[in-house]
């Protein structure tokens, strides 16, 4: 199934198309804006405009949508358009070479899933761009373009290059690629948290602000792309989406809003009495270690990472993130969620 059309963002598209037509497109761009506003879809639109083989498609920046390169991009199959998204590697302890292979397999599976369902949900809280991902990127960086004149590397959710400030290896490795990219290569990073990226990376990219969409554009998207059941509550969804297609999609399914609500309820319980903490733990479904409980942990990670960015009690927040990550790893092994929740609640309570 091909990608859905890109909705809105005409002003920034016009500027990017002009840069392509004039041969002035920078080699390293950072699309920054709210989560779910369409930054990665915009990056794929840009890639299509660069590899389109028809002069008219390149001059407008849109791509013709009909030539083979355009069709390959829309089907996430173009050999010169490399889309790197955060992935979660469950197999630990493999050597460096094996880790790269695992990342390549995980990316291939994710692209296959997005071909099946182009309207995808955000990556899990434990997914990241690890050092193995950047090593894979570096290998592909030096390949000769297979079909187009240029290669395009899209790094979605680039802030996940540095899930912890104490582990900046992946960001440093990417920095080396950005410092002296091959002449036939364009990088497009996307981030909803650009300040989480190291200043050294920010200094080597041209930052492009991707603004929220007006309700008229979201309405058009919903009318064309969402199910009939979802359209019944469209006014309420438009209000909660706040100009972001991704949030509209989240309200169409389980999404991240429910994760945040569950995380907030869990955090409230950790500040309460032992009876409240254990009641919250027992409320977890024993058979949902990889389902609802993992979603709750993802919501906790989102909350804690937000707290870390504000600088509040950094050491305590980093310790809490580490505990949640440990719990999430055990949940993937189907350890009882009630036991994990009880231990995690006690640890977070005892450490404030």
pTM above 0.95, yes or no: no
Tokens of 282: 């027992």
Encode the chain (352 residues) as per-residue pLDDT tens digits: 789 899 999 999 999 999 988 889 999 999 999 989 999 999 999 999 999 988 765 556 678 889 999 999 999 999 999 999 999 876 666 688 888 999 999 999 999 989 988 888 778 777 888 888 999 999 999 899 999 999 999 999 998 885 444 456 667 778 888 888 899 999 999 999 898 888 888 999 999 999 999 999 999 998 888 766 455 567 777 877 889 988 877 655 444 555 667 788 888 888 888 888 888 888 877 765 556 777 788 788 878 877 776 766 677 888 888 888 888 778 766 678 888 888 888 887 766 5
Tell me which residue of 24, 2, 43 sits closest to 225, measured CA to CA: 2
For residue 251, CA distances in Å to 38, 152, 240, 302 come to 16, 32, 8, 18
For residue 349, what are the contacts with CB-CB under 8 A and spacing of at least 6?
270, 271, 277
3-state SS of 73-94 is HHCCCCCCEEEECCECCCCCCC
């Amino acid at each position: 199934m091909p990608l859905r059309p890109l909705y809105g963002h005409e002003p920034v598209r016009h500027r990017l198309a002009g840069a392509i037509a004039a041969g002035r497109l920078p080699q390293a761009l950072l699309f920054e804006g709210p989560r779910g506003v369409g930054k990665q879809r915009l990056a794929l639109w840009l890639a299509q405009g660069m590899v389109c083989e028809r002069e008219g498609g390149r001059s407008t920046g849109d791509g013709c949508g009909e030539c083979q390169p355009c069709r390959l991009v829309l089907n996430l199959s173009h050999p010169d358009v490399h889309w790197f998204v955060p992935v979660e590697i469950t197999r630990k302890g493999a050597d460096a070479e094996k880790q790269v292979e695992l990342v390549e397999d995980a990316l291939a599976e994710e692209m296959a899933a997005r071909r099946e369902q182009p309207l995808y949900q955000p990556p899990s809280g434990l997914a990241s761009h690890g050092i193995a991902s950047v090593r894979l990127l570096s290998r592909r960086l030096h390949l000769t373009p297979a079909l187009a004149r240029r290669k395009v590397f899209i790094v979605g959710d680039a802030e996940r290059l540095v899930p912890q400030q104490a582990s900046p290896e992946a960001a440093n490795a990417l920095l080396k690629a950005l410092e002296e990219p091959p002449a036939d290569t364009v990088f497009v990073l996307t981030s909803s948290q650009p300040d989480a990226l190291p200043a050294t990376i920010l200094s080597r990219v041209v930052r492009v602000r991707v603004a929220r969409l007006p309700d008229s554009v979201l309405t058009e998207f919903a009318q064309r792309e969402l199910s009939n059941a979802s359209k019944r509550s469209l006014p309420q969804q438009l209000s909660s989406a706040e100009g972001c297609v991704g949030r509209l999609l989240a309200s169409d399914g389980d999404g991240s809003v429910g994760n945040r609500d569950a995380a907030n309820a869990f955090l409230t319980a950790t500040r309460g009495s032992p009876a409240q903490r254990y009641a919250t733990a027992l409320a977890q479904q024993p058979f949902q270690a990889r389902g609802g409980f993992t979603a709750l942990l993802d919501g906790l990670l989102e909350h804690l990472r937000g707290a870390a960015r504000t600088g509040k009690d950094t050491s305590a927040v980093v310790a809490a993130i580490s505990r949640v990550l440990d719990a999430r790893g055990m949940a993937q092994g189907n350890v009882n969620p009630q036991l994990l929740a009880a231990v995690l609640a006690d640890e977070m309570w005892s450490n404030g």
